[in-house]
Amino acid sequence: MSDLHRNLHLGEPGRWYSELAASWLGIVALAGLGLWIGRMRRSRRGRADLVRPNRKHTGYRGLFGWHASIGVWVVLGAVFLSATGITWSAFAGANVADLRAAVGGGTPSLSTTLDGDAPVGGEHSHHGGAAAAPTGAANPATFDAVLAIAQRINVNTGQVEIKPPAAPGKAWVVQEIQRSFPTEVDAVAIDGSTMHVTDRVDFADFPLLAKLSRWGIDTHMGSMFGLANQLVLFVLALGIASLVVLGYAMWWRRRPTRGFAAAPARGVLRGAPWWGIGLVLLGAVALGSLLPFVGYTLAAFVVLDVTLGLAQRRRVPNG
């Protein structure tokens, strides 16, 4: 299920698609909110229909009522899922991590390299010789030994992951993995030869942005607040899926082949103020740099649209 959510079991291309969807979800949701606010301000009657659907309405108007009312209730959740999903995506996630690190909000990492430096808190971490084993010897006694040391340092939850050294010259890692509230993700690195603590990280010392990132991801995954969290996400997912279906149904009712939904006239941008066009371009470049898949697809859309416009002008005399 986790891989299905991450990449649709399609490997790296599927992960790219997942990032593309997460990147555009928040933009589309906020754009929909903008349209909703504009309609609410213009409407003198029937404002309640934009908050809850009017069951008397049928056809396109009925579909629109359901789409608008569901959308305004799920917009914050959709933006939250988009933002938290982006944080661990392949490309945008790396940009977000770099941005957090640049402002001092990066997530602290545990060093597992054994460089011979003095141990951290050595007088409290030494365990004794009988259970100690050379680094890399993954026997049950060593597991018990490193766990006992970590429990005296900062590991105080029952949900724990113990990792033997990944390679020679690396330390054992004991890490809390309790992602429900209160979050417990403290970790300790231990030299398997000397049973000295070589490094530690404490969630309490994380920068605020790092904590928010951890809490956001765990809420996104439904583990922060247990069943209540999962039920809210289930309802939110149903709402977003309903918006997609309703959106296609609305388009089908007013599809261009029936004479509806004419495209905006070309050349409208030329009448906009230069500073407005500049701000839009600047915003698009900034957003595309942070969210590469938004930038790529937006650029592709502009190229395709310009190409179609030029082709249309050639077909129309005196166009």
pLDDT of residue 137: 52
**Rounded Cα–Cα distance for residues 185 and 119 (Å):** 21
Question: Is the pLDDT score of 267 beyond 80?
Answer: no
Sorting pLDDT into bands at 50, 70 and 90, what band is 198?
A: very high
Residues with Cβ < 8 Å from 293, sequence gap 6 or more? Answer: 16, 19, 20, 23, 24, 91, 92
| Low-confidence winner among 57-61, 112-116, 204-208 (lowest mean pLDDT) | 112-116
Q: Is the pLDDT of residue 263 over 80?
A: no
pLDDT of residue 116: 53
Residue-wise pLDDT tens digits, 280-304: 899 999 999 999 999 999 999 999 9
- Out of 122-131, 197-206, 300-309, least confident range: 122-131
> Which of 157, 145, 136, 144 has the alpha carbon at shortest distance from 202?
157
What are residue 199's DSSP bridge partners? 189
Given this model, what pLDDT does residue 261 score?
Answer: 64
> Residue 307 has which token pair?
């190409």
For the chain, give every domain's residue range.
Answer: 1-107+207-262, 110-205, 269-319
Higher-confidence position of 314 and 82: 82
| Alpha-carbon gap, residue 33 to 116, rounded angstroms | 57
Residue 29 phi/psi, 5-degree rounding, is: -65, -45
Total-model pTM: 0.83
Mean pLDDT, the chain, whole residue set: 88
Helix 12-42 with 59-86: angle, nearest 10 deg: 130
pLDDT above 90 (res 260): no
Beta-ladder partners of 200: 188
- Residue 199, helix vs strand vs coil: strand
Q: What is the pLDDT of residues 110-145, one digit of tens each?
A: 999 997 544 444 333 334 333 344 444 567 888 999
pLDDT at 122: 39
User: Which stretch, 34-43, 138-147, 229-238, 268-277, has highest mean pLDDT?
Assistant: 229-238
**pLDDT in the model for residue 195:** 93
Closest CA to 247 of 44, 4, 5, 74: 74
Which 3 state secondary structure label does DSSP give 187? strand
Q: Please tell me the predicted confidence (pLDDT) of residue 224.
A: 96
Give pLDDT, residue 127: 40
The CA distance from 57 to 72, in Å, is 19
pLDDT for 158-184, tens place per residue? 899 999 998 889 999 999 999 999 999
